[in-house]
A and B are shown apart, each in its own frame.
Chain A
Amino acid sequence: MAAPRQFSVQVEVLLRDGIADPQGATIERALPALGLDGVTAVRAGKSFRFDLAAADDADALAQATVVADRLLANPVIEESVVTVRPAGTPA
């Protein structure tokens, strides 16, 4: 079996559509004070980054998805986007 490789993972967690997003709404209401009246649909979420040792791309994605679905996001109210890339490559 090949030696594990290092991967860099980014997980973005956002509230699902229809779930109240007080942070996003509050940020949006503050924007007119900057003179920006055209900014809409502001959503606040969380971003997580971590390193992961895995056999290959598919294994890394599978592991990262477990982290996202089982811990970082609550699927009842949140959705997550997982991005995996080999460590040391540009985001």
Chain B
Amino acid sequence: MAPRVGVVLFPGTNCEHDAVRALDRLGAEAELVWHGASSLGHYDALVLPGGFAHGDYLRPGAIARFSPVMEAVAGYAVAGGPVVGICNGFQVLTEAGLLPGALQKNRGLRFVCATVTVRVERDDTALTDGVAVGTELSIPINHFEGNYTCDAATLAELRDEGRIVLRYVDNPNGSVDDIAGVCNAGRNVVGLMPHPERASDPLLGSEDGVVLLGALLRVAGAATPAA
């Protein structure tokens, strides 16, 4: 059966259709989930897509964290369900405390819109399961607050526990330790700044994002839906 993926839509999200289309093309049944939803247990995976949830007012993700759906997302994540936050979705997950650290403004004071190369560092997370460590992927980034930061203790923990999922080959934004994506201790919640859904078709210039989204769907297909 095709994995069912909920793509969470906050007011101000703007990459939701890209995500749904990319997932559907890979054989998923993806659908939008309004941020007022309170029940997510019937999905095999969740994606928090990019955009400007709640206008990014205050800070990216700061208000979205209080959307009703986030309590359900947290419950889903604690139950082991695969959750992926892309760009603004990553920011929402850090603000919600589901992932450590924060995304600060890019080094160099610039919004960066470019296709970058990221290296897969782990083959055992919801987004990289079965992907060979060292695989390099060409995927677009598109952000102003993508400069990952955390305190020294958290960074040491991320390294020791192998929770740095993706690294930039040529750091575009100043992220500490070239971090492009991290996961939680359970490895089922992953956040990344690059947009795999925008690299999901040759027409888009790259289909390397399929490697990541395909891994997510494999994990989703194998997962028992969270209660």
Contacts and interface: CB of A to CB of B under 8 A. Distances in A.
Interface residues of A, number: 12
A20 B58 contact: no
B17 to A, nearest CB: 29
A15, A22, A25, most chain B CB atoms within 10 A:
A22
A76 B102 contact: yes
A12 B201 CA distance: 46
A71 B151 contact: no
Majority secondary structure, B binding face: loop
A72 B58 contact: yes
Of A15, A22, A26, A76, which is in contact with the most chain B CB atoms at under 10 Å from its CB?
Answer: A76
B58 A22 contact: no
B62 A71 contact: yes
A63 interface: no
Interface residues of B, number: 18
Nearest to B154: A76
Given A19-B149, A20-B174, A74 B102 contact: yes
Interface stretch (B69-77, B103-111, B135-143, B215-223): B103-111
A71 B150 contact: no
Contacts of B150: 76
A72 B94 CA distance: 15
A71 B105 contact: no
B95 interface: yes
Contacts of B95: 74
